[in-house]
Structure 1
Amino acid sequence: MKLKFSLIALFIFALGFAQNKGTITGTITDKDMNNETLPFASVAVKGTPNGTNADENGKYSLSVQPGTVTLVFGFLGYETKEVQVTVKANETKVLNQALASTSVQLEDVVIEKTVNREKETALLMDQKNAAIIKQSIGAQELTRKGVSDAAQAVTKVTGISKQEGNSGIFVRGLGDRYNSTMLNGLPLPSNEPENKNVALNLFSTDIIQSVGISKTYDVSQYGDMGGANVDIISKEHTGNGKLNVKIGSGLNNQAFDSNFKMADGANKSGFYNVNTPTSTKEYQFGTKWSPVTESNPVNGSFGISGGKNFNFKDDSRFSVFATANYGNGYTYKKGSQKNVTANDEVSTDYYNVNKYEFSTKTTLMANLAYKLDAKNTIKLNSIFVNASKSTVGEYDTYLGQGDARYEFNRQTLTQQNKLFVNQLLGKHDYSERLDIDWGASYSTVNADMPDRITNNLVRQDSGLYTFNTAAPTTNNRYFQYIDEKEYAFKAIGNLKVLKGEDELYKGKLSFGYNGRIKSRDFEATQFNFRVGQAENQFIDKNNLDSFLNASNQSLTQNVPGTFYITTSRLQSLKPFTYNADLSVHSGLANFEHNLSDKLTYTVGLRAEKVLQELKWDTNIPLTAVTPDDAKIDKVYILPAATLKYSVTEKSNLRAALSKTYTLPQFKEKAPFRYEGIGENSVGNPFLKASDNYNVDFKWEMFPENDEVYSAGVFGKYINNPISQVLLNSALNDNTFVNAGKSAYVAGIEFEMKKNIWKVDDVTKQTLSFGINGTLMYSHQELDSKKVAQETNGTLSVNFNDSSDALQGASPLLLNADLTYRIESGMFRPTVSVVGNYFHDRIYSLGSFDRGNIVEKGIMMLNFVSNTTINEKWTLGLTVENILNSRIRRVQENQSGDITTYNYKAGSDFSLSIKYSIF
């Protein structure tokens, strides 16, 4: 009885204590944006842990002890505001607060540096108020759609798709060479010899605050952009101290059911230390020729992240955010490949192909920000990413017409890409009218292929195997290394001008400098094993090391039962090399003017001095070609203009015009043969840059702060477009050429984010639907004589037609998602079904009566769910590629389409658990 009485008394006391508190409520707004609401801003009682965040409408409510308290209002990128308020017991007081941005913002004029935000509603507000045409996808939307990295993020944006087996993206049909990638407004180097841009899948969502995609050009960007500029904004810490731990696991259903194979020596950590042999007279290879079997192909991941603010006097603040993540994955593809001749004959039929891939990714990031005062901020950002792959590809094929024997090919390789980015950024407000935004970065890339193993065996009538000795290169080991360094700088001033009668400035003049200097050193060495087989000597394809070993090596050629080693330069250990350098120095000026409450325009001009140089010593004997033939030395004058008309408070009409250019990639110009099984590529040093002329018109409406409708048309005219094409070669080589004089792309785009059903009660339930799509037409001229003339006859192509569509240009792209979420309460699930589709597109242009190779359209369907429980736990479940869509390429020949690439990759299942320690 006493216990019962005590509990009742305690309850009454607690209830009375709670009722004696007061409540402060209100709306937080953006002072410089016509008092637009400021979603998710913070408000706290100074000197206490008592605080909260505003909702998506900028509204907040905070319970406080009776008396006089000091409230601290804040938001990243805005000046902190302290307000004293007196509250009585049981009183509810309304206190609205406007915050001013620390960056230059004009009423209804573009925000040059968008405030860092993660919420969809905040990013949509930025999109609505900006004068330029842009789109962003933030951390909230990335989580909702089950996006694990920046590569997946950009494919959720209208008009963007990704090519299977390649880290590059296509924007409105324009591939990797037409795009550019930045981190916090500074350019990133490439980590792959195949691409101009860094692999976006290196950047996991753990380090991403948002990803901005600009499909129209403005002069703040580098001019080497015809498709889009992708700017990854790294996470910074805001609010209270945080520390999160996350673990995950999963599997690929095909990999789990297979007898999974990995390269010998494949390190589960993803870090390798394999040295190139220094002699052909000694056997110095530390890993086995034959792969090993993985008994437990289950994916795993682990991550930890956290941050904290340190507040000092005079409003200065130091914040730190750091994260460390590791993940691995197993995938398995089973299918077939073919090479087809001009006579519709299959020259090589890999009728049974098995591809195994084990990948890892380790990410470390530290972000430090020091706010000296309300007008000066300095940031230091460092990111290290290590990505590795171990792949095993096994190919069975017929040896040749009239020969009953079979051929077995195996290629095993390890890859390790290390990217290290260091940035120093600053923002300074020198007066009410003038601010300076500056930055510098130093980035390094080590993209290594420390051991690629290629074997070619012949299966005899007896079913036993012998080495194929038709050529000295049929059994080889290949080592490739890339060292790339890049320095980048920016210094941009923004000056407010044209003060109006309302004391607000109506214009802004931006001016400044951008520069980047990058260099790449490439080297490759191949060791060829010339086998001298004894009569009736057979080999186990899964134990090649019983023959290819130190004791069996001979220095005498063609000794039965032994082998000897040569290199691609016979006995010389000197590697094949190319060295590429690029420097870009730019001056820019841009004027923005809020002509009226409804009309805003920008006009800008950028001048870029571009110097690209290349030197090589490779396996392509182009004796008539000199480094001067590969040199690009040019000044580009790049104008850009935009127009925005606010039809209503919630809808805009926009237009944009610009000129840009497209530089060839280093790999596309370097005369080096990159060899794979069934497909090679060769660079073209005569390749020229393209000039691009761009136009966009767009209408957009924002019915609610988390909804958008938009539609637009766009067009691009390209001088000297660059395309991939088949060479007249027995080796099935592709090369890159300025295929014709001109090309153009035209299309329409639409986007809709709509709440189908919404309940604004305590639970805040929402059922929303999103869809975006692009319908486009592309056309380019094809001129074989032009190619021969521009390459001095060193490259021979013979296009089948005088015109065709652009390589990579899919006429239809669609993205859609259906999401149900609960945003309040102890149990807050978010469940999404996400779909993507692209229609058929050209993979490589045909020539010499061999038709185009076309990548067939694919429908992808994913299921994503994340559930937050009690603010501490988050559970995630994802199923990717539910339909197990077939990946297929066909060659369009006269007798009909012939399938040249045909695989299924299986479905991926993953489960994750995140715990917030505090």
Structure 2
Amino acid sequence: MKITKLSAGVMFLLGTAQALSGQQAPNDSLKKEKEIEGVVLRGSIKKGAESNLISLQRKSAEVIERVGAVQLEKQGVSDVSVAVTKATGAQKQEGSGQVFIRGLGDRSNSTTMNGLPIPSNDPAYKNIDLGIVKTDMIDFVGLEKVYNPRLWGDMAGANVDIVSKIYTGKPYFKVNIGSSVNFNAFSKPNFYLQNGPDYLGFKQINKPKNAKIAQFGYAFNTGWQNEETFTPINSSLGVDFGRSFTIGEEGKLSVFGFGNFDNDYNFTEGIVRSVDNSGAPLKDLLGQEFTYDTNTTGLLNLNYRINSNHTVKATTNYIHTTEQKLGFYEGYIRDTNEDRANETAHLRRAAYKTNDLWINQVAGEHRITEPLKLSWNVGYNRLDSRRPDRQQNISVQNRNTGLYHFIAGNAGANHRYFDRLLENDYVGNIHGDYQLNDMLKFTVGYRGRFKDSDFRATQYNFRVKLAPGNYYVTPEDYGAFFNYDNYQSGAFFDIRTFRGIVGADEMALVPQYYQSEVMNHGAFANAEFKAGEKLTAQLGVSYENLQQSILYNTSIQDGDVDKNYSKILPALNVKYSLNDLHNLRLSASKTYTTPLLLEVAPFEYEDIDELSFGNTDLNPADNYNLDIKWEWFPKRGELISATVFGKYITDPISRVTVNSSSNSVSFVNTGDSGMIFGVEAEFRKDLYTHGNSRLYTFMNATYLNTEQKLDAGKVDRENPNSRVAVSFISTKDKMQGASDFLANVNLGWEQKWNRNTMDVVLSLSHISDNIYALGYESKGNLVDKSVNLLDATVRFSLNNGLGISASAKNLLNTNFTRVQANGNGDVVVRDYKKGISAGIGISYQF
């Protein structure tokens, strides 16, 4: 960093990124810096550097916690879902990019980019899959676990704010290439995927036109055969660049661009099982799953500093992802091979999902007068999410003859499924800060959001007409049976939807659908009071109104839902600086939690081992939050802190196993109240320094004690329009998804010589047991067992612009296990290993 005309009297300004970069995170409230006449500062600072983020945390009136891009690069963390787990009290949900924070999952958290809400890329979730957001395009990720009125109040765990990178410093162009392997996938002699999707992930498989189906019946463009793919070696290619331009006497335009493609092959093998409430198996299978994912991301960030009083920023971010999974499962399925002694069920399931997410934002900050500052932010988000051509086949093998056949009349056993979710999301906020004097600042603002969602799904079921023994099939290609010629003959199979027989019933091709419109309005006011240099207090209130309408027609039922909620949400944040190194903080607030769209819409989604459906009678939960925190900043870049927090929740929402003979789950307000009590600790410290060598650690741990009341009578009374019925095992239990203990331990060694740097980082994470779904009667809770994850990264940054890295992930190759915790003993229902991954990367910066 180069600085000219620098005097010792202004060195303290270097700790404030706002002064040097022109960027301030949306919810910071830092001490007002004094202008010093005659001093000119020019330079750059890494806003994602740990020392800078800790400095901001020390000064902020609000509780903020951030994970910076610089440290993430050292750890070899490439996506935001893993980045968030490096923060205190956060855990990643296995099998997705969703995170739990302080024991609360997807519905209890929110996600923003640069302070504006962004949509989920998957109808099953409220928040975007953080695994698709690349860390190379961000400055830092902020976790706002304490509410303040500038945030939307629909959060109980935290708001995750992704702050996209703004270019500062010298012009540059950087190229990144990398390759890795997952040893589970690489060790397979053959790696299979379904027919249709391509390597880059841009080939779209469309649902057959209704007119074509009506005319030809069987009109599918892809086959049922398994296709062997290329050698399963992962690859990545990315570029990013930055440059600034002077405009006029005071203007400066900064441009940052990022583009990236990567793919990921994986293979898992293990148990897939489900049992009924008597413990008898519904499915008892050994499964193999081949997966292939792609991610193509582009981001352009323009920051135009008009002059010292006015700045405008524009961001556009396009993310295209695909997920393929081809699974083979064999064993016992109750409804298929009742002669378990002589028959084996074979289930093939091919799933393909594509997501196109386009995020657009324009924001501005304007110093109208010395005491008045105006900030605004508007955005438009577009989501196109599809599950095109999910395929399922179930056949039965006679072990005496070795021959395979289908089960006649079981239409849903063999099917093809297509769905599509389209969302348009308009968001915006504006607020003004008025600095009355050195002691008092007022903030008032408004925020709004309108989102329309259109979801449509069609499942084509193939009902076999022939009796077993009159034909045989080949599992390698079920298309030898399910094809155009056999359909036209009329003897082999017909095609049905839940509305009727294709070609016979007029309504057969009308898709299932739900359409939703959500309107949010919020107004807030906040007062910040400073009593000297030690005490800062914020007292604010927010009013929010949420209106949601859903029109639906599905295989479960048709109808509409209209919900209208108004919430008044007070918030108090107090910071007391014992001295320059120690802070005490107190925060109290009220927030709320609304159910997800798919938790309300009565749509049925069937996976291998469970079936889930929404509940139109779900109500929001209210959350009352209290935090007490102590912070110690021993020296620059170091932090030691401890937090005690509690949450009281009315009408808590949980995933539950419903009363049924199948393994079905839904969502209910389980009881009148729930509570969470927790303790968090964080430690970032240099352990040893000598010359250009540094041994350091950053670690955190969280203990959680949770409880919710369970009341089956309440569920019956409050769910008159749904088919949800429960019989809880007890009158209270832990909160769904909450682990009792979470910990992250990171040990790093930094060595510098001749402007070259080497970083070695070991990262260990522990997640204890947590409830996946509440059980009923003799059918116990579904529980995800504890896991330990160990990663290692070595990275060299050379003074000629070359960067070299090597990483190894999941070195312990931990078992991921889910059990049904029955009273007479746990039943393992999921068990597999993801395998160890290792890779290298090379970058060059021009």
The TM tier, using the shorter chain, reads: over 0.9
Instruction: Work out whether 1:548 is the aligned partner of 2:482.
Output: yes
User: Contact conserved, 1:108 with 1:597, CA < 8 A, in 2?
Assistant: no
Cα separation, partners in 2 of 1:255 and 1:734, compared to 1, 3 Å: same
Shift of 1:876: 1.3
Residue of structure 1 aligned with 2:735, choices 785, 806, 827: 806
Q: Secondary structure at the match of 1:836?
A: strand
Shift of 1:825: 2.2
User: Contact conserved, 2:271 with 2:829, CA < 8 A, in 1?
Assistant: yes
Instruction: Work out whether 1:205 is the aligned partner of 2:139.
Output: no
User: Contact conserved, 1:837 with 1:860, CA < 8 A, in 2?
Assistant: yes
User: Contact conserved, 1:226 with 1:692, CA < 8 A, in 2?
Assistant: yes
Shift of 1:631: 2.6
Residue of structure 2 aligned with 1:573, choices 496, 506, 509: 509
* Stretch deviating more after TM superposition (536-545 or 325-334): 536-545
Between the aligned partners of 1:824 and 1:698, the Cα distance in structure 2 is: 39
Identity across the alignment (%): 34
Between the aligned partners of 1:882 and 1:443, the Cα distance in structure 2 is: 38
- Match of 1:217? 147
User: Contact conserved, 1:334 with 1:904, CA < 8 A, in 2?
Assistant: yes
- Match of 1:112? none
- Match of 1:829? 758
* Aligned partner letter, 2:653: I
Residues 714-743 of structure 1: CA distance to partner in whole angstroms, max 9, x if unpaired? 000000000000111233110000000100
* Stretch deviating more after TM superposition (740-749 or 787-796): 787-796
- Match of 1:690? 621
User: Contact conserved, 2:154 with 2:593, CA < 8 A, in 1?
Assistant: yes
User: Contact conserved, 1:496 with 1:509, CA < 8 A, in 2?
Assistant: yes
Between the aligned partners of 2:523 and 2:46, the Cα distance in structure 1 is: 26
Between the aligned partners of 1:904 and 1:369, the Cα distance in structure 2 is: 45
Residue of structure 2 aligned with 1:656, choices 573, 587, 590: 587
- Match of 1:494? 433
The structure with more radius of gyration: 1
Q: Secondary structure at the match of 1:237?
A: coil
User: Contact conserved, 1:389 with 1:414, CA < 8 A, in 2?
Assistant: yes
Between the aligned partners of 1:855 and 1:36, the Cα distance in structure 2 is: 48
Residue of structure 2 aligned with 1:481, choices 409, 420, 424: 420
RMSD: 2.1
Residue of structure 1 aligned with 2:462, choices 526, 529, 533: 529
User: Contact conserved, 2:759 with 2:796, CA < 8 A, in 1?
Assistant: yes
The within-5 A match list for 1:390-539 is 390-398=324-332, 399-400=337-338, 402-460=340-398, 461-498=400-437, 505-533=438-466, 535-539=469-473
User: Contact conserved, 2:178 with 2:839, CA < 8 A, in 1?
Assistant: yes
The within-5 A match list for 1:99-110 is 105-107=30-32
Shift of 1:824: 4.8
Instruction: Work out whether 1:865 is the aligned partner of 2:794.
Output: yes
User: Contact conserved, 2:311 with 2:366, CA < 8 A, in 1?
Assistant: yes
* Aligned partner letter, 2:258: T
Instruction: Work out whether 1:699 is the aligned partner of 2:648.
Output: no
Residue of structure 2 aligned with 1:787, choices 687, 700, 715: 715
Residue of structure 1 aligned with 2:288, choices 347, 351, 354: 354
Shift of 1:36: 4.8
Shift of 1:621: 3.0
Between the aligned partners of 2:386 and 2:10, the Cα distance in structure 1 is: 49
* Aligned partner letter, 1:349: D
Shift of 1:291: 1.9
* Aligned partner letter, 2:276: T
Between the aligned partners of 1:355 and 1:568, the Cα distance in structure 2 is: 28
Between the aligned partners of 2:10 and 2:509, the Cα distance in structure 1 is: 65
Between the aligned partners of 1:321 and 1:896, the Cα distance in structure 2 is: 56
* Aligned partner letter, 1:478: Y
Shift of 1:290: 2.1
Shift of 1:230: 0.5
Shift of 1:299: 0.3
User: Contact conserved, 1:392 with 1:413, CA < 8 A, in 2?
Assistant: yes
* Stretch deviating more after TM superposition (533-542 or 521-530): 533-542
Cα separation, partners in 2 of 1:672 and 1:823, compared to 1, 3 Å: same
* Aligned partner letter, 2:769: D
Between the aligned partners of 1:417 and 1:724, the Cα distance in structure 2 is: 25
- Structure 1 residues without counterparts, runs of 5 or longer: 1-21, 42-73, 80-100, 110-114, 499-504
Instruction: Work out whether 1:153 is the aligned partner of 2:83.
Output: yes
The within-5 A match list for 1:80-95 is none
Q: Secondary structure at the match of 1:553?
A: helix
User: Contact conserved, 1:116 with 1:210, CA < 8 A, in 2?
Assistant: no
User: Contact conserved, 1:108 with 1:130, CA < 8 A, in 2?
Assistant: no
Cα separation, partners in 2 of 1:306 and 1:463, compared to 1, 3 Å: same
- Match of 1:614? 550
Cα separation, partners in 2 of 1:238 and 1:328, compared to 1, 3 Å: same
Instruction: Work out whether 1:134 is the aligned partner of 2:64.
Output: yes
The within-5 A match list for 1:31-180 is 35-38=12-15, 75-77=20-22, 105-107=30-32, 117-180=47-110
Cα separation, partners in 2 of 1:430 and 1:347, compared to 1, 3 Å: same
Moved over 6 A (4+): 22-25, 27-31
Shift of 1:795: 1.6
* Aligned partner letter, 1:289: W
Shift of 1:794: 2.8
- Structure 2 residues without counterparts, runs of 5 or longer: 35-44, 503-507
Between the aligned partners of 2:261 and 2:780, the Cα distance in structure 1 is: 43
- Match of 1:95? none
Shift of 1:565: 1.6
* Stretch deviating more after TM superposition (507-516 or 335-344): 335-344
User: Contact conserved, 2:15 with 2:55, CA < 8 A, in 1?
Assistant: no
Q: Secondary structure at the match of 1:898?
A: strand
Residue of structure 2 aligned with 1:182, choices 94, 112, 132: 112
Residues 498-537 of structure 1: CA distance to partner in whole angstroms, max 9, x if unpaired? 3xxxxxx222111110111111110000111122336342
Instruction: Work out whether 1:883 is the aligned partner of 2:839.
Output: no
Q: Secondary structure at the match of 2:325?
A: strand
* Aligned partner letter, 1:151: S
User: Contact conserved, 1:208 with 1:232, CA < 8 A, in 2?
Assistant: yes
Between the aligned partners of 2:622 and 2:23, the Cα distance in structure 1 is: 40
Between the aligned partners of 2:357 and 2:652, the Cα distance in structure 1 is: 30
Between the aligned partners of 1:211 and 1:487, the Cα distance in structure 2 is: 23
TM-score scaled by length of structure 1: 0.86
Cα separation, partners in 2 of 1:769 and 1:903, compared to 1, 3 Å: same
User: Contact conserved, 1:291 with 1:412, CA < 8 A, in 2?
Assistant: no
* Aligned partner letter, 1:794: R
* Stretch deviating more after TM superposition (267-276 or 782-791): 267-276
- Match of 2:41? none
Shift of 1:555: 6.2
* Aligned partner letter, 2:51: T
- Match of 1:666? 597
Cα separation, partners in 2 of 1:27 and 1:269, compared to 1, 3 Å: farther
* Aligned partner letter, 2:472: F
Q: Secondary structure at the match of 1:648?
A: coil
Instruction: Work out whether 1:237 is the aligned partner of 2:176.
Output: no
- Match of 1:263? 194
Between the aligned partners of 1:216 and 1:417, the Cα distance in structure 2 is: 31
Instruction: Work out whether 1:294 is the aligned partner of 2:233.
Output: no
User: Contact conserved, 1:479 with 1:525, CA < 8 A, in 2?
Assistant: yes
* Aligned partner letter, 2:290: Y
Q: Secondary structure at the match of 1:631?
A: strand
User: Contact conserved, 1:555 with 1:564, CA < 8 A, in 2?
Assistant: no
TM-score scaled by length of structure 2: 0.94
Residues 353-409 of structure 1: CA distance to partner in whole angstroms, max 9, x if unpaired? 001110000000111111111111111100000010111011112223654201000
Between the aligned partners of 2:338 and 2:782, the Cα distance in structure 1 is: 23
Between the aligned partners of 1:617 and 1:900, the Cα distance in structure 2 is: 33
- Match of 1:325? 260
- Match of 1:797? 726
Shift of 1:908: 1.1
Cα separation, partners in 2 of 1:685 and 1:30, compared to 1, 3 Å: farther
Cα separation, partners in 2 of 1:24 and 1:235, compared to 1, 3 Å: closer
Between the aligned partners of 1:696 and 1:167, the Cα distance in structure 2 is: 27
